[in-house]
Amino acid sequence: MVFSSLTFLCFFFPVVVILHTIFRDIRVRNGVLLVFSIVFYAWGEPLWALGMIFTTGVNYACSLILERTVNSGRRKLLVFIACAVSLAFLVYFKYAAFIVNSLTGLFGREYTMAAGRLPIGISFYTFQAITYTVDVYRGRSQAKKNPLLALLYISFFPQLIAGPIVQYGDVAERLSARSASVRDVYKGMSRFVVGLSKKVLLANLCGEAITQLPAAGGGSPLSVLGSWLLMILFALQIYFDFSGYSDMAIGMGRMFGFSFPENFNYPYISKSITEFWRRWHMSLGAFFREYVYIPLGGNKASKLRVALNLMIVWALTGLWHGAGWNFLVWGAYYGALIIAERFILARVLERTPGILRVAVTLILVLFGWSLFYYDSLSAGIRHIGAMVGIGGGGVIDPASVYVFKNSAVLMLASVFCCLPWTKMKTEGNHMPTVIDRAGSFLRPAFVSGLLVLSMLFLVGQSFNPFLYFRF
């Protein structure tokens, strides 16, 4: 089940909200959220829910024992067991075929292991399970005595399958005591509708435009225009697809009394690759910083060691997104750029005009999306070649011109929505009171219009994928 489906919007979500509102006892409310979270996850494949429950059980048990254990060696062993079991499921389902096929290819064997179906959201809930045990180990939060609360934390349906990745310490207290005011419900619903409209009105339409390009699957040469057009459309699609889903998750969380971390902060206005990754998928960056980069030594080491730490983190970031050489190279690509910005280009960047820095950053990001878009590294490299005129596809082709003309308005609207217009106020220059009042009056009408329009588009759309389901 996905948020942008009529089943979820018309039946599942309204029922959860009604029941959560009717019952005032926090234990009953948690029970409602837990039951519906399990149903939500098991909707497509019930067996996958058992793996998530087992992972939760291991981390719950290890965390309880952790709080009663003083011996440092035993505490570290418990953390290792919890993390190893959690990661074992992730490695088996997501990376086993990639590892086996890479090794057999390296040694010249003809055996090929077929990749199995990936449990939805396994990368997200695995990381949350790890934060549960590690946060208890660090003393940041106490383990829940009630196993159902631990399961609710990991299985909570708004952020279960696509994040944001919520660290246990950030919501531990709210699992047992929380409240949501009328303002929280209103703000949460508004945030949800904005996210839904991003997904339905922008991401899906950009995705449909991509399918009209004759070489979108990498089967035939792309012209220079076609290659750039595809990557621009994909950059817009994946941003509105994922940030829209994050908005919906954050909005629903607020309606139920939770405060989830922001996941996107207008990344396409970044003036460097380092800034881009501080604005894109922020909860993933926070996880790798807190649970990988800092334990490796972080910045408190020699430049060579810091560079190595960064490259390890970015290689893991690439592999987290997918089991393939293209994802590994994609992660290493960003790792190399960030290392270069920190140790080589820092002074150059300081002297470069902001608009030029934004333009260069966007070009580098589009090259990166070329590696991310395809299923193979070779296809991604060919696409980058096409973007710089290598590959025999020519400069312009009629099909790309046709798609460009048809999608020009969509791209302009999407680019407009990538900019933080609501935050663009000069210091000390406040909007007049009349305009403020008009905005407070028009905002509910605007949000209602977005909801109606999104629902109408969903009724007529057959193209409604979610890109991050494969992670």
Neighbouring CB atoms inside 10 A of 427's CB total 5
Cis peptide before 164 (omega within 30 of 0): yes
Helix (H, G, I), strand (E, B) or coil at 125: helix
461: left (phi over 0), alpha (psi -120 to 50) or beta: beta
Q: From CA 267, how far away is CA 279, in angstroms rounded?
A: 5
> Among the three residues 178, 206, 232, which one is the final residue of a domain in this structure?
178
Together in a domain, 153 and 252: no
Q: Is 321 a catalytic residue?
A: yes
**Lowest model confidence (mean pLDDT) among 51-60, 93-102, 432-441:** 432-441
Residue 187 corresponds to which tokens in the numbers above?
């703000």
Does residue 251 lie within any of the structural domains?
A: yes
pLDDT in tens, 106-125: 777 766 777 777 888 888 99
Number of domains in the chain: 2
Q: Looking at the predicted structure, is the pLDDT value of residue 194 above 90?
A: yes
Together in a domain, 131 and 257: no
Contact 1, 12 (CB under 8 A): yes
Neighbouring CB atoms inside 10 A of 413's CB total 14
Does residue 1 lie within any of the structural domains?
A: no
pLDDT greater at residue 302 or residue 422: 302
> Among the three residues 178, 198, 219, which one is the final residue of a domain in this structure?
178
Residue 154 corresponds to which tokens in the numbers above?
């990991």
Q: Looking at the predicted structure, is the pLDDT value of residue 435 above 70?
A: no
Q: From CA 42, how far away is CA 319, in angstroms rounded?
A: 26
Q: Which amino acid is at 77?
A: L
Together in a domain, 197 and 71: no
Q: How many CA atoms lie within 13 A of 215 on its CB side?
A: 26
Catalytic residue among 20, 281, 321, 383: 321
Residue 352 corresponds to which tokens in the numbers above?
């470069």
Q: Looking at the predicted structure, is the pLDDT value of residue 432 above 50?
A: no
Percent of the chain beyond pLDDT 70?
92
Together in a domain, 246 and 377: yes
**What average pLDDT does the segment 276-280 reach?**
96
**What average pLDDT does the segment 465-470 reach?**
64
Pick from 190, 154, 137: nearest CA to 52: 154
Instruction: State residue 434's pLDDT score.
Output: 46
pLDDT in tens, 131-184: 999 999 999 889 999 999 999 999 999 988 887 989 898 888 889 888 888 889
Mean pLDDT for the chain overall:
88
Q: Looking at the predicted structure, is the pLDDT value of residue 206 above 50?
A: yes
- Residue 420: pLDDT band (50, 70, 90) is confident
Does residue 142 lie within any of the structural domains?
A: yes
Does residue 388 lie within any of the structural domains?
A: yes
Together in a domain, 322 and 369: yes
Q: Looking at the predicted structure, is the pLDDT value of residue 105 above 80?
A: no
pLDDT greater at residue 313 or residue 423: 313
Together in a domain, 307 and 442: yes
φ, ψ of residue 71 in degrees (nearest 5): -60, 125
Q: Looking at the predicted structure, is the pLDDT value of residue 437 above 90?
A: no
Together in a domain, 131 and 203: no
Q: How many CA atoms lie within 13 A of 434 on its CB side?
A: 0
What are the C-alpha distances in Å from 123 to residues 92, 163, 391, 464? 12, 10, 36, 22
Together in a domain, 348 and 461: yes
Range of the domain at 146: 6-178
- Residue 393: pLDDT band (50, 70, 90) is confident
Together in a domain, 232 and 143: no
Instruction: State residue 462's pLDDT score.
Output: 66
Buried b (16+ CB within 10 A) or exposed e, 32-58: bbbebbbebbbbeeeebbebbbebbeb
Together in a domain, 308 and 171: no
Contact 401, 225 (CB under 8 A): yes
- Residue 237: pLDDT band (50, 70, 90) is very high
Q: Looking at the predicted structure, is the pLDDT value of residue 44 above 90?
A: no
Q: Looking at the predicted structure, is the pLDDT value of residue 429 above 70?
A: no
Q: Looking at the predicted structure, is the pLDDT value of residue 96 above 90?
A: no
Buried b (16+ CB within 10 A) or exposed e, 284-307: bbbbbebbebeeeeeeeeeeeebb
Residue 465 corresponds to which tokens in the numbers above?
């994928």
Contact 373, 231 (CB under 8 A): yes
Together in a domain, 160 and 301: no
pLDDT in tens, 316-342: 999 999 889 999 999 999 999 999 999
pLDDT in tens, 360-371: 999 999 999 999
pLDDT greater at residue 274 or residue 219: 274
**What average pLDDT does the segment 253-276 reach?**
94
> Among the three residues 152, 178, 204, which one is the final residue of a domain in this structure?
178
Does residue 16 lie within any of the structural domains?
A: yes
Does residue 398 lie within any of the structural domains?
A: yes
Instruction: State residue 399's pLDDT score.
Output: 86
Together in a domain, 149 and 226: no
Instruction: State residue 459's pLDDT score.
Output: 84
Q: From CA 94, how far away is CA 429, in angstroms rounded?
A: 51
Q: From CA 177, how far away is CA 153, in angstroms rounded?
A: 13
